[in-house]
Amino acid sequence: MIVQHNITAMNANRMLGMTTGSLSKSTEKLSSGYRINRAADDAAGLTISEKMRKQIRGLDQASTNAEDGVSAVQTAEGALTEVHSMLQRMNELAVQASNGTNSQDDRKAIQDEISQLTTEIDRVAETTKFNETYLLKGDDGQKTINLKAHDAGLKGTLTENGDGTATFTMAELQDGDTVSIGGKNYTIGSSVADAKALLVNADAGKTNTYKIGDKTYKVDENGAVTDSNGNSLYVKTEKGATAATAFSVGVELTTDANFTNDKGVATNNTAVTLDNLKNYVSGGVTVSNGTLTKVAMTDDKSLDGTATADGIDDNDSSVITKKMAYKLAANELLAANQIGDTEGSAKVGLGTDVDTAVSATNGTGVFKIQLGQTKVANTLSFNLHVGSDADMTNKIQIDIETMNSSYLGVKGLNVADDSGKAATYAIDAIADAVAKVSEQRSALGAVQNRLEHTIDNLDNVVENTTSAESRIRDTDMAEEMVNYSKNSILQQAGQSMLAQANQANQGVLSLLQ
């Protein structure tokens, strides 16, 4: 027997210490709810868990970011709803002002309301904000934008060229056509030259029949003229004349080829030619070739009385030449494209040259339009970060244009003219503005739908990642209670055994008595 070392007690003490340590860890896990409370508990598990925690908390904030984005988009879209409402009212007023039953005072009253609505659109654009960010007034700096081209209600094809210009090709006009320009109906009359152009030599072996006024003539391939019965026509010369009478518009025609001159000799009369027939064509005279009929206009003076042809019939101002119609169309195209043009850039030119003005003598029916322009603030752009990583694909960009009256093309809109034409053209400008607001609202709606899906996905990832992190880090309470109960029993047993081991060496004392 030995007394210096109580191996049994040492062993019991060591085992008791281990049990106490295990019991302490179980108590810690049960009280904290975590399986890993320090790196020593599970070094690899701690590393994985912390990465997951970073992702979870980042995604939670990303979801909040997306929700904030939805709120901002809803704020902007809500304001644009009112802008839409105001534009619809402006359209209603423009249609009303276009009606010919309105007096000048009526249109002025309508203009007053339109002006107020335009001002309110600007105010909404200037003041709508979310978290101190103005949503509809654009960003710093300015840009110049082109307005949409308008055709002034004319029949034809309008094509925007993509370079700040547009081409309008008017429907081809023919003599006798009725065309509406600027709300007024015109009849395309024929110039004297156009009417004369119907008179031509017949093809080889054929005869053309023409009606000039109430007379009918036939012309062969050589330009010889006969009456409706095929009898050659001549200028009548009185018997006894010294020479054949030359053709003039007032002379009498005859089918006699000869006359007797002052010497009693049969002499040839002057034959009527195609060029002579053309002399019958003057203002007001109707010419027909059996297929086309043209009424030559009387155009010897301008509207102000000046003895200059102006392409407008002197007796009926609703009868005009084709080229005059093209000039009037150019004027209306310019008026329609000047709406909202705050920079004064709108022009209408001839053919492919915007700098060549269309006149009453050079029109072709093809017009080059330089679009109106306006200066607006730069597009507002901001990004929503909807991920937990520093990846640029986690950015969702939102772009919002400056939704004021300048950008919408209705700044300075005027319907208070005396004819209603300005209001008619304003309808097209307002329609463009409605389309712009619709486009912006559609873009915002698309972003909002995307963000809602983004939020759903982020929340789903957070849920699943949290579940995975929980399996690594959280305590299985049932399992740990089993360990706790075991260690508690072992601790009590260890304490008892240690007490017994400490008493084991007491037997040595009996040997010393």
In tens, the pLDDT along 486-495 reads 888 888 888 8
pLDDT band (50, 70, 90) for residue 307? low
pLDDT band (50, 70, 90) for residue 216? very high
109 three-state secondary structure:
helix
pLDDT at 511 over 80: no
Q: Which of 114, 56, 17 shows the shortest CA–CA distance to 411?
A: 114
Residue pointed to by tokens 């240690």: 498
pLDDT at 404 over 90: yes
Does residue 372 contact residue 343 with C-beta atoms inside 8 Å? yes
pLDDT band (50, 70, 90) for residue 23? confident
Percent of the chain with pLDDT strictly greater than 90: 55
The superfamily in CATH containing domain 49-138+379-465 is f41 fragment of flagellin, N-terminal domain (1.20.1330.10)
pLDDT at 1 over 70: no
In tens, the pLDDT along 122-151 reads 999 999 999 999 999 999 999 999 999 999
pLDDT at 250 over 80: yes
pLDDT at 507 over 80: no
pLDDT at 41 over 80: no
pLDDT band (50, 70, 90) for residue 505? confident
Q: Tell me the average pLDDT across 325-339.
A: 94
CA distance 491 to 485: 10
pLDDT at 500 over 90: no
Q: What is the mean pLDDT of the chain?
A: 89
Q: Tell me the average pLDDT across 30-57.
A: 83
pLDDT band (50, 70, 90) for residue 437? very high
CA distance 88 to 408: 13
pLDDT at 287 over 70: yes
Name which of 4-8, 78-82, 314-318, 342-346 the model is least confident about: 4-8
pLDDT band (50, 70, 90) for residue 72? very high
pLDDT of residue 92: 95
Chain-centre distance for alpha carbon 61: 36
In tens, the pLDDT along 94-126 reads 999 999 898 889 999 999 999 999 999 999 999
pLDDT of residue 424: 92
pLDDT at 513 over 70: no
pLDDT band (50, 70, 90) for residue 305? low
The domain limits of the chain are 1-24+475-505, 49-138+379-465, 200-280
Phi, psi at 178, each rounded to 5°: -105, 130
pLDDT of residue 212: 93
Chain-centre distance for alpha carbon 367: 22
Name which of 33-37, 156-160, 393-397 the model is least confident about: 33-37
pLDDT at 157 over 90: yes
pLDDT at 311 over 80: yes
187 three-state secondary structure:
strand
Q: Global pTM?
A: 0.76
Dump the DSSP string for 331-355.
Answer: HHHHHHHTTT-TT---EEEETTBTT
Q: Tell me the average pLDDT across 386-414.
A: 91
